[in-house]
Chains A and B, each alone.
Chain A
Amino acid sequence: MALLEVKDLRTSFKTEDGIVKAVDGVSFTVEKGQTLGIVGESGSGKSVTCLTIMGLNAKRTTMSSGEALWKGKDLLRAKSSELRKIRGDEMSMIFQDPMTSLNPVHTIGKQLVEAVQLHRDVTVRVAKARALELLKAVGIPKAEGRIDDYPHQFSGGMRQRVMIAMALINDPDLLIADEPTTALDVTTQAQILNLMKRLQEDFGSAIIMITHDLGVVAETADDVVVMYAAKVVEHAKVHDLFNRPQHPYTWGLMGSLPRLETDTERLVQIPGQPPSLLRPPSGCRFHPRCPYVMGVCRTTEPKLLATERDPSHLQACHLDQETKDREANKLIESTMAEVG
């Protein structure tokens, strides 16, 4: 049994302007010890997918359907009290912004101890020892001296480490990391990604890595889900996605990336803007921006189907296989060309 199995997840929000379908039929599974990358631009629904799984959306304005089976138990239909038991214990989350996700009026030690005592019946002393152990594990120098410091006394990278320590303190089976390194510098990003990789090896947790950075996905994920306008457009093993991308949106994302290792005079740009989810385009949601658009794309929504040669590689596009292979090869060749 998969650790987490998400089936046809749909989430919509009531707003003044109407109903926004932020997640529209998303399915994936996460196995023990695996890393799933979810890539997409802002507003593609990648964060909302995970907030829905965790039950963290505002109840009054949110409607969700589908299933999110956690070890066989549907989280969408679980009671709040049950969810509270799972969250922070079996499943935890690292948020994007380390500056605002820690409580500024409590010491980090107190916040870490709270996280332990919510789920374990232990004394403060034991909890604090555990907190110290984690702070050391995430590489905070002189952890003994810093456990009673307040969040403002830490730098951004250090705060993100505290967040990771807090997320890992109860040995979760699944860690959801929502853009964990976006607010950080490249050098700090490298430190944090290394740390997550090492902790995954030590603790055997599964990770869902939400990011807009294809580089981060390439270096960390086993499986990748590409989202566009609330839907999954491609889902594949990381090597297949980067070597045989099948969807024009994925090609656009890869082509629009300035790269260190190759020379390109002009970047491939995806024209236009991501669509509004209040009134998503008809047919394939990418069709207004797609350079390969055909008549059928405007009227019929493509299904997420396996490619002919690989049942694990799913994609949602009407283009024929021959064109896809040709375009994917062209893209790979142009981005693989070495400098000099």
Chain B
Amino acid sequence: MATEQGSNGQMELHGDELLVVDGVKKYFPITRGIIFQKAIAQVQAVDGVSFSINPGETLGIVGESGCGKSTLARCIVRLLDTTAGRIMFEGRDITNVSRVAMRPIRREMTMIFQDPYASLNPRKRVGFIIGEPLEVHKLGTPAEVKRRVQELLEVVGLNPEHYNRFPHEFSGGQRQRIGVARALAVNPKLIVCDEPVSALDVSVQAQILNLLKDLQDDFGLTYIFIAHDLNVVRHISDRVMVMYLGQVSEVADRDTLYREPKHPYTGALLSAVPIPNPERGRAREAIVLEGDVPSPVNPPSGCRFHPRCPRFVEGHCDVEEPELFPFGNGHVAKCFYPLERWPMTAEEMRRRGTARAQEEPVQA
């Protein structure tokens, strides 16, 4: 798959990308047996994902739970080893570098985790938590570390006096600020944010989103921003990648994706988001997908979305796997029967799809 995606324009590299992910796969084995464990099946959590990020850009990744977005994030920062594919950071292949060789690279990319309650050690003081990355990388004397930590606390909007407090003395939003400060401590170039605001209340969520934007402007950060909330992703991203069952189904710059989605899955996701406006929300017709995300152990044949797709064409979508077709300007979508316009009603989506199918199977 990786080579196919490479050939259709998505992977045209210009040399100064910060991060290049090329055909990355991550399979988890399902084993049986106690002493002699043998793999009986594989969970194809990430299956051939390619993309690149330019410095200073924010790439949003959306998808339902189980689509492999978190696994992908963990592969990128090398918390998980990949099964296949390449990850290049600043032109250097980091897919298989040793732990020791990886260490200086870890200073360049850090991660913010989803759960601000579970990701901070309850027995350590905030000063230690934020300063730990500096100590690990031996950046500065204890006095310098302390000064840096207080500076970071101020940057993320916390009181530098709270250096000696424990995580439980902070609210959820403040804890997420501590997580942000820790990720910032080593002056990274890339921060991978894995659902950083989904555990927070809306008013606090807005504070963290604004903070992340300000930090990006101040320090020229690059973000990979993973979330299941399409509103949040739209707010923060420059480009958005939609994932379904371990694969990329659509990539486009933010405005294009939200204004002219091509993949029926993207369309269904967009129309499922409740609109906080009673007139507009109730007037539009949501395209409700049937059923659940299929199991990544045994993904559907052909296009992985075909069992739930309103545009499904028998004998085509379930047999042949679509590649990521280009729509210009870096917009790609993995679909044989892309949407013609947006918004569409569920009825239109279905009708147009079959109408086109009657003309097209010969050519296809």
Contact = CB atoms under 8 A, between A and B. Distances in A.
B276 A254 contact: yes
Contact of B273 (A158, A194, A260): A260
Contact of A267 (B235, B277, B279): B235
Nearest to A184: B65
B64 A218 contact: no
A261 B152 CA distance: 35
Contacts of B84: none
Interface residues of A, number: 50
Contacts of B278: 218-219, 238-239, 242
Given A157-B292, A258-B235, A267-B210, A219 B171 contact: no
B206 A242 contact: no
Interface in A206-259: 212-219, 238-239, 242, 252-259
B201 interface: yes
A191 B274 contact: no
B270 interface: yes
Contacts of B292: 155, 157-158, 188
A257 B231 CA distance: 8
A194 B288 contact: yes
Contacts of A186: 64, 228-230, 269, 272-273
B282 A258 contact: no
Given A158-B292, A218-B278, A239-B278, A258 B272 contact: no
A165 B230 CA distance: 29
Interface string B225-241: 00011111011100000
A105 to B, nearest CB: 24
A33 B255 CA distance: 40
B179 to A, nearest CB: 16
Given A157-B292, A267-B210, A257 B201 contact: no
Contact of B201 (A41, A141, A157, A261): A41
Interface string B45-76: 00000000000000000001100000000000
A292 B215 CA distance: 28
B201 to A, nearest CB: 4
Nearest to A240: B278
Nearest to A189: B272
A248 to B, nearest CB: 12
A215 B203 contact: no
Interface in A184-212: 185-191, 193-194, 212
Interface string B283-304: 0001011111000000000000
A260 B277 contact: no
A18 interface: no
Contacts of A188: 64, 292
Interface stretch (A268-276, A296-304, A305-313): A268-276
A187 B289 contact: yes
A279 interface: no
Contacts of A193: 274
B202 A256 contact: yes
B272 A190 contact: yes
Contact of B206 (A156, A218, A267): A267
A268 B210 CA distance: 9
A260 B289 contact: no
Contact of A215 (B213, B279, B281, B289): B281
A335 to B, nearest CB: 8
A334 interface: no
A185 B203 contact: no
A230 to B, nearest CB: 15
B229 to A, nearest CB: 8
Interface in B129-183: 171, 173-174
B268 interface: yes
A266 interface: yes
A158 B64 CA distance: 15
A259 B274 contact: no
Contact of B275 (A41, A194, A256, A260): A260
The residue in A187, A214, A340 that gathers the most chain B C-beta atoms within 10 A of its C-beta is A187
B275 A187 contact: no
A339 B64 contact: no
A187 B269 contact: yes
Given A191-B289, A260-B258, A218 B275 contact: yes
A143 to B, nearest CB: 14
B309 interface: no
A233 B213 CA distance: 31
A269 B203 contact: yes
B204 to A, nearest CB: 7
Interface of B: 64-65, 171, 173-174, 201-207, 209-210, 213, 228-232, 234-236, 255, 258-259, 268-282, 286, 288-292
